[in-house]
Structure 1
Amino acid sequence: MIPTVALVGRPNVGKSTLFNRLTGRRKALTHDLPGVTRDRVVAEARRPSGGWLWLVDTGGFDPESQATIPAMVREQALLAVEQAQVILLVVDGVEGLVPADQELAEVLRRSGKPTLVVVNKADRRDARFAVSDFLSLGFPAVAVSAEHGSGVEELWEQLEALLPPPEPVEVSPPELAVAIVGRPNVGKSSLLNRILGEERVLVSEIPGTTRDAVDTPVTFQGKRLLLVDTAGIRRKGRTERGVEVLSVVMARKAIERAQVCLLVVDGSEGVTAQDAHVAGLIQEAGKGVVVVVNKADTLTREGKKHLLEDVEFKLKFLKDTPCLFVSALTGAGVGKLLPQALKVGENFQRRIGTGELNRVLRAAWESHPPPGGKGPAKLYYATQVGTAPPRFKLFTNLKGELHFSYLRFLENALRQAFPLAGVPVRFMIVGKP
């Protein structure tokens, strides 16, 4: 079994910077503003002794605030502590020991979990001198600079002493990464929690609750999936400066590393210009997509019909895209999401035999040849040159590119003959020099 290590601490002590340092990549969102991290962010980290561990970053632990978001962040942090085998209590060596650190240490003592105090910002002299003060918390302590990397080697040494011996287990990449994307406050996090059957991510009516892209590995129908909840994406001109800009960047990166995107729209509001903007980002990235109409419990049968027409008209550039009506509130239809994502994932990797490909494209070409040219237009040969998404090269006697409307005609012929629902199709034309 791969052990889990949770990073906890009050806001703005450098947990996410340390998380990124230990995992070796910029996975967690970092910013000078306190409270940037809210959900649990999980990633694998390779141990110096061999093997792997799961590292969990958590939001800043505020023991006193009763405001909605801090209280929910606190609950997520406590859940991370409950599920971890070892705890890293991250503290700010420059500020020194404060009552909030002592309160959190008391919580960790009651948990009974092995705990190591990580005194961050040790590149500052006053932080190094503060280490002895933190020993009063009753746990061993180590001084590090998460930003510059000093002390991390000693941190690993002390952490290894608290962990079970490494097992010869490789952390293999997921077979399918599914990003849950959409504009703010359409129910993305609620859908993820409903799929998982637990409160994995924060949910509130406050727009912008989700900031990080939150990865959740799951196994479904024998396949390893990675579900990624993302921050709501707004157009550039409507995005506030600071943390929200970084959140949108992380959401766009989540689209880039996914194979399939669940585009969530609000059924009570219909398809908006911002929904179309997010759909355009998915299309540009060349990813598979399923349109998910949330809050379907608010729609009548006639309302669903009109909304489906709305999807087909306003998102018509998403060719042959499945559309599911679900309710994160009641759970209706949610069970169809992962099976549909798997189907689109299979289509995303679809390979078509050369003989079948040429038969279908030649039949379409000969029934309706492309216009233009001095002589008859000829399609010599077609071949598939790649997947993810499916890409095809066409050899012709034409000069220049085919008109986009004719390429759409050829694409429709392929879609009628082969299962390509939910994925873009790309053509490359090779003609006369």
Structure 2
Amino acid sequence: MVKTKKLPLFLAVNKCESPDKGLIQASEFWCLGLGEPYPVSAIHGSGTGELLDVVIECLPETTEIIGNNEIKVAIIGRPNVGKSSLLNAFLGEQRAIVSPISGTTRDAIDTFIEYQGKNYCLIDTAGIRKKKNVEYGPEFFGINRSFKAIRRADVVLLVIDALDGITEQDQKLAGRIVEDGRAFIIVVNKWDAIEKDSYTIYDYQKILHQRLHFIEWVENIFISALTGQRVDKILDLVDSAAIEHKRRVSTSVINEVLNEAVRWHSPPTSRQGKQGRIYYGTQVSSQPPSIALFVNDAKRFNENYRRYIERQFRQQLGFKGTPIRLFWRSKKARDIGNANHATKV
């Protein structure tokens, strides 16, 4: 399913300071089956030149810069939900250690793969427990690196244990991903362990929407990392979410959506009879898509109306799998009239 890059491997045997005994000491490591052992001394530097010579021979003439083209995918979740198992399922081999003991993964590990001609960087992370249960130490720093992995990812896979259901910690993690502005997908793992009938998946999706109602725009997929069920479909969803996350929409299209939205539902009016008015909108950035809305007074638009406008953008423009940010900017009408690109709504 997935191609992994096969890299040259050189076995360096350290602490071989003695020029006479170094070769004899290193020869004992032929039994590892990793090829010729190179005796070196990190302290004295002996043998490092010979090792460097053979390494340089394997380097390409043109160095490929890793990190510009691949999609970065962070695998996030609570301990023991199957994050490392999912990584192994992507690779088709036991690359990451899988254990029922929580805390097996302590660091964020990058793995580069190729799938259908596209490059991906999969970031396996430490399980994130509730803050009150985490003591200062290796787990604390591992969780911090998990949060950093979210921020540097293009798409996040939030892995949920189908047997445990959607926990409070899952909700907090979903909120954290939205706050960081990352595209993401909900991956319900261990689906093979659930007793099912014709309605099971629909009932579970209903629970997902109830418990995670604030991210109804996120795609979800039910998989088994153990059996490989539907794992091959995850990267297709990743591609779609990454595209939406980077997407840009022209100002004219944004204002067409605003015109239609205001026509169906006028902005609220205050008790003093003052009504909110949207002058125009424009996209100011992507990753995530961010739209500035210039209005007469931002305070006149309550949360219900702001959510209504966001729903209209999603219904008309998509943005499936990515958060969008709306910035409500108060602006005087005479300033709007001076803007050449302004479109009154």
Q: Give the Cα–Cα distance (whole angstroms) in 2 for the partners of residues 155 and 107 of structure 1.
A: 16
2:336 match: none
1: distance between equivalents of 2:180 and 2:218?
Answer: 16
Q: Describe the superposition over 1:70-94 as per-residue Cα deviations: whole angstroms up to 9, x where unpaired.
A: xxxxxxxxxxxx964223446699x
Secondary structure at the counterpart of residue 214 of structure 2 = coil
Find the counterpart in structure 2 of residue 20 from structure 1.
none
Amino acid at match of 2:118: K
Residue pairs, 1:30-429, within 5 angstroms: 84-89=8-13, 106-108=28-30, 110-111=32-33, 113-116=35-38, 139-143=39-43, 157=49, 159-165=51-57, 166=59, 167-173=61-67, 174-299=69-194, 300-301=196-197, 302-373=199-270, 374-400=273-299, 402-429=301-328
Per-residue deviation, 1:281? 1.5
Q: Which amino acid aligns with 1:172?
A: I
Q: Is the CA contact 1:263–1:290 (under 8 Å) kept in the aligned structure 2?
A: yes
Tell me the distance in 2 between the aligned counterparts of 1:324 and 1:105.
51
Note the C-alpha offset of 1:369.
Answer: 2.2
With over 3 angstroms needed to count, the CA separation of the structure-2 counterparts of 1:268 and 1:375, relative to structure 1, is: same
Please list every run of at least 4 consecutive aligned residues from structure 1 whose deviation after the TM superposition is greater than 4 angstroms. 89-93, 102-105, 154-159
Cα pair 1:235 1:277 within 8 Å, conserved: no
Query: Under a length normalisation based on structure 2, what TM-score does the superposition of the two structures give?
Result: 0.83
Amino acid of the structure 1 residue aligned with 2:121: L
In structure 1, distance between residues paired with 2:191 and 2:34: 45
Unaligned runs of 5+ residues in structure 1 are: 1-53, 55-81, 94-101, 117-138, 145-150
Instruction: Give 1:295 deviation, angstroms.
Output: 0.9
Q: Which residue identity is paired with 1:325? A: F
Q: Secondary structure at the match of 2:242?
A: helix
Q: What TM-score do the two structures reach when normalised by structure 1?
A: 0.67
SS at match of 1:339: helix
Deviations for 1:344-381, whole angstroms, at most 9, x for unmatched residues? 11110111122111101221123212213544432211
> Cα gap change, 1:92/1:227 in structure 2, threshold over 3 Å: closer, same or farther?
farther
State the distance in 2 between where 1:92 and 1:411 align: 65
SS of 2:74's partner is strand
Distance of 1:111 and 1:382 partners within structure 2:
64
Identity among equivalent positions (%) equals 36
Aligned equivalents of 2:283, 2:48: Cα separation in 1: 48
**CA deviation after TM superposition for structure 1 residue 105, in Å:** 7.3
Q: Relative to structure 1, is the Cα distance of residues 226 and 110 closer, same or farther in structure 2, using a 3 angstrom cutoff?
A: closer
| Preserved CA contact (<8 Å) 1:114 1:162 | no
- In the TM superposition, residue 259 of structure 1 has moved relative to its aligned partner by 1.1
- 1:82-121 deviation per Cα after TM superposition (whole angstroms, max 9, x unaligned): 964223446699xxxxxxxx999734565353545xxxxx
Partner-residue secondary structure (3-state), 1:141: coil
> What count of residue pairs does the alignment treat as equivalent?
316
Give the Å deviation of 1:199. Answer: 0.9
Q: Does the 8 A contact of 2:276 with 2:300 survive in 1?
A: no
